Amino acid sequence: MKKINSVKEYKKQIKKEKIKIHTIQISLGILFLLAWEILTRANIVNSFLLSSPLKVFSLFVTYLNSGEIFSHIYISTLETLLGLIISLFGGILIATLLYLSPSASRVLDPYLVLLNALPKSAIAPILIIWLGTGLKGIVGVSVSFVMIITIINVLNYFNHVDSDLITMMKSMKASKLQILMKVVFPSNIMNILSTIKVCIGLSWVGVIVGEYLSSKRGLGYLVMYGGQVFKLDLVMMGIFILAILALIMYSVIALIEKILKKKYKLN
């Protein structure tokens, strides 16, 4: 009975701790916005350069009422999801092939490092020229930001699976493909989800860079246009919407991660 009570108490403590953390997180956000508004109203912070929360919200309501904001959100989200999906499927597939062929992995390793080190914003204009100024070009830029890091991360995870498990499978005459499917993939589900979390932000960055260069729609275009005409409330509105969308996507992956951990007792 004492043990049951102690477990209940532990769960209650964990729940209280989560509520406390979420409360602090929300409070910090509110305090930041309040401080920002107060400082701009008191002319301590230049409202022309940083706008203010109320101005940003007022502009958002204007765009919301006109319906214009939805087309910008839709196209940017579509480009981001396409770039992310293509990069993840392509990156995991290439990492798998390299894992199955260690000699190819060793040959290509310096090229992967080189491609990862290249400033992606520098090659973005080339990709836009090659693929065009529409959806394909922007998605291509997003893929260039995400694909290589996906390959490197996933391949690194595959190569660092518990060696004892690999040895045991080999002693049972398992093939490389069987080891991959029975040990390597299951052992790295959480690692792949962690990689996806990182790639969400990179995919958004790629889309914004692409929209800077060639788009007449999208949140990146709004931010760029706002900067060009010195309308900083438009810039801030675009940044806030981008942050919220990225947070939503991140939260979805975090929820999937939580469900898998609970269902399959994964670490």
What does the domain layout of the chain look like in residue ranges? 1-45, 52-264
pLDDT band at 240 (very low <50, low <70, confident <90, very high): very high
Give the range with max mean pLDDT: 43-47, 181-185, 195-199: 195-199
Burial (Cβ within 10 Å: 0-12, 13-18, ≥19) of residue 120:
buried
Contact 157, 192 (CB under 8 A): yes
CATH superfamily, domain 52-264, is MetI-like (1.10.3720.10)
Whole-number pLDDT of residue 2: 47
Determine the 3-state secondary structure of 238 from DSSP.
helix
CA–CA separation, 213 and 207 (whole Å): 10
pLDDT(4) > 60: no
The least confident of 4-18, 26-40, 95-109, 162-176 is: 4-18
- How many helices (H) and strands (E) would you count in the chain? 13, 0
- Dump pLDDT digits (tens) for 137-159: 999 999 999 999 999 999 999 98
Per-residue pLDDT tens digits for 51-68: 888 888 999 999 999 888
Average pLDDT, the chain: 87
Q: How many residues does the chain have?
A: 267
Angle at 108 between CA 104 and CA 112, to 5 degrees: 145
CA neighbor of 124 nearest in space, from 90, 83, 153 = 83
3-state SS, 50-97, equals HCCHHHHHHHHHHHHHHCHHHHHHHHHHHHHHHHHHHHHHHHHHHHHH
Residue-wise pLDDT for 37-52, tens only, equals 898 888 887 777 778 8
**Residue range 217-235, pLDDT digits in tens:** 889 889 888 888 888 889 9
117 pLDDT more than 90:
no
CA distances from 194 to 93, 254, 258 (A): 17, 9, 12
pLDDT band (50, 70, 90) for residue 22: confident
Whole-prediction pTM = 0.86
> For position 52, what pLDDT does the model report?
85
Lowest model confidence (mean pLDDT) among 11-15, 217-221, 249-253: 11-15
